[in-house]
Structure 1
Amino acid sequence: MSAFRRFMGMMDDMKNGQNDQYATRKTLIARVQNQQNERAWEEFIEIYRRYVYAVIRNMNISEADAQDIHQNIMIKLWEKLPNIELERITSFRGYLSTITKNEVLQFIRSSQRRVAREEKAAADSTLSYLDNIRLPEIDKIADQEWRIHLTNLALKNIESLFSKNAIEVFRLCIQGWSTEEVMSRTGLSESTVNTLKSRVKTRFNTELEFLKQDLE
């Protein structure tokens, strides 16, 4: 089986939720430059695929189109990463944003060409859809989605270190719930809520900083 077919098989597995959890490594991007390193590619897809998809969807792109664009981006990354000079990339997240923006632009251009061949009613509908795509806001969308993505990754990485109650308390707190609301939701006392929140927060901040350095 070719390396490309194995890569597409990984994409299918990820869509079906059939994936393993791997610890992140600062050398991940360097390792995926070897297209034969299946474990590195699985890790790469698991870490970045949700972020890229979330950025696309938040640009007001339909689910079906977002899936197609997302797959095209992943294929382009598979093709491009082996040849990029890592020392020239100051921010890998910025590199992802650029590729995403270019792929969405390509989608818009292709759709506009299709409009020229459609009947007026269909063309008007497509143009209205294209006009609602939030392309100029991609940097803002990408920043927001990256913060959400890192928060979820950090929580996922540390959840085995704490009780279910502790993770739930902290998750509610960072979602903006007040101490009183958390107490009502969990049935825990104020002192317990504050203690659990403090314990998780310290480890969470450490993990979040590690992920920023490791993945950006």
Structure 2
Amino acid sequence: MVPSGLEEDCVWDPNRIQIISVIEPKPVQVNNDLFARLSRVQWAEDDFDLPCEVTRLGLDNPVNNKSYVMYHGTTRMNAQSIKATGFRRSPDGMLGCGVYLSRDLQKASRYPIDHPENDRVVIKVKVNVGKVIAINYQGHPRQKTWHDWRYGPVFDTAWVPPNCGMVPSGLEEDCVWDPNRIQIISVIEPKPVQHCPSLLK
């Protein structure tokens, strides 16, 4: 309903609302050194273009057997390889073996970390998550064994909720065991940011 995909609330009784303060916008002072460190690219996508039966990003847990749009950050060269032969499981990581994705474009666009921004792309995919387990704290007993039947029920996707303390950025992360659950939709290229010259004064 909301083009931005952000949540909105409607309260019937105004008496339930208590004003705390009024927040005024503040001008941003950016010096030349800080400007040089600012991101020079932005990541965008068509916010209205969702594949059939796919759910938009939410902060709630992924529902078993539903399909979601997710993102995978990688290099331009790796993106070509993935487009040609499909995804392959990473041998290890925070959640063990699997394909690492996020429903949050901002999270995916940071990867690969420490790689030049102009050589990064984000692959937009459709994923049927199958059976999902939430891994919501470091040292979770199934953190790296969620797909191993020897340790209990087998899951298809491990989900790290936002702001649970496992990811420094506080953004959500997903690990999908079977690459065949992932369907490539498109590749999102970074776009140059036009900074206002007045910010450099």
- On whether the aligned pair clears a TM of 0.5, the verdict is no
Report the TM-score when normalising by structure 1: 0.20
Rg larger in structure: 1
Higher strand share: 2
Higher helix share: 1
Higher relative contact order (CA 8 A, sep 6+): 2
